[in-house]
Amino acid sequence: MTARTALDRLCTVPFHEADESLRAQVLRRLADTELFAALSADPQDDLAKLMLFDLEGTQAALACDDAAELAAFVGGPVAHAAMPGRVLAATLAEEGRALLVNPGRPSQMLLDAGALAWLGQALAQKPAEGQGTPARLTLPDADMVSVLADPLAERLAAMGDLLSGAALARAEWADGAAGHLLMISGASQGDQAAIAKAVGEMLAFLPPVPGGLDITFEGAALPAGALRLELTPAPPAEPEPEPEVDRPPKLRW
């Protein structure tokens, strides 16, 4: 087995034995991970046919987040297509098929068509955009900080240079509604939709936020001690050594 991947490191217990919170984290990471899906043959005329297995009463495609591990599981070099997990999940959900990921590894999981469809729906979520100026901003609730602070900081830091800062506060509106407001600064109008979608995806994999979370790209005076999110990207991980296995060619889907 090659060095553990990011998915393996998340799976401190087997995926199907993990609690709801950990499974959600794994699925969110799976969506953004490049997967190598086994093909039954080399593509012909830009068409690729997935290798399918009969598992638990359904047909399942096979994919790994390491091309060498895919070849090792199949027993030799195999044609494959490289694509983000979200793309493969959407394709299989539409066809009513399942997905077997990383067999024999800590992150082994079998996702049926229903689970893949749920993943697609979660990835389509985005928060509502706050309308107007809130009547009052106060410190965010402590339980909201514990749920949102780290995932928000990680997600927004991954957006690179698209924004310059972010803060979280509790907002009260003139009509009496109350909830939490995420204030994004330094984002161009052309980047705002992508940032909102990234935040929405993150929220879909967290426990429900009481009162909801709105997002605004307009400036607002923050209350003293407001939660300002640290957006410094983590230093890159040390590169993993190349496995001593011939990698099959990367093929386009």
Q: How far apart are CA 204 and CA 171, in angstroms?
A: 21
Greatest Cα pair distance, the chain, in angstroms, is 65
Which CATH fold topology does 6-124 show?
A: Trna Endonuclease; Chain: A, domain 1 (3.40.1350)
Q: Which tens digits make up the pLDDT trace of 212-251?
A: 888 888 877 787 767 888 776 555 444 444 443 333 333 3
User: Residue 198 CB: number of other CB atoms within 10 A?
Assistant: 16
What's the mean pLDDT in 93-98? 92
Residue 26's pLDDT is what? Answer: 92
Q: Which tens digits make up the pLDDT trace of 162-175?
A: 998 899 999 888 88
For 150, list phi and psi in degrees, rounded to 5: -65, -50
Residue 221's pLDDT is what? Answer: 78
Q: Which two tokens stand for residue 187?
A: 């984002």
Q: How far apart are CA 122 and CA 28, in angstroms?
A: 9
Instruction: Give start-end residues of each CATH 3.40.1350.90 domain in the chain.
Output: 6-124
Instruction: Give start-end residues of each CATH 3.30.300 domain in the chain.
Output: 136-228
Q: How far apart are CA 128 and CA 17, in angstroms?
A: 34
Q: How far apart are CA 237 and CA 229, in angstroms?
A: 22
CATH class as words, domain 136-228:
alpha beta
Structure confidence at residue 21 as a pLDDT band (50, 70, 90): confident
Please report, to the nearest 10 degrees, the dihedral formed by the alpha carbons of residues 15, 30, 91, 60 taken in order.
Answer: -30
Q: Which tens digits make up the pLDDT trace of 187-221?
A: 999 999 889 988 888 888 888 777 788 888 887 77
Task: Judge whether residue 27 has pLDDT over 80.
Answer: yes
**Cβ atoms of 27 and 206 closer than 8 Å:** no
Q: Which tens digits make up the pLDDT trace of 69-92?
A: 999 998 888 999 999 999 999 999
Q: Which tens digits make up the pLDDT trace of 118-158?
A: 998 888 877 666 556 788 888 999 888 888 888 888 888 88
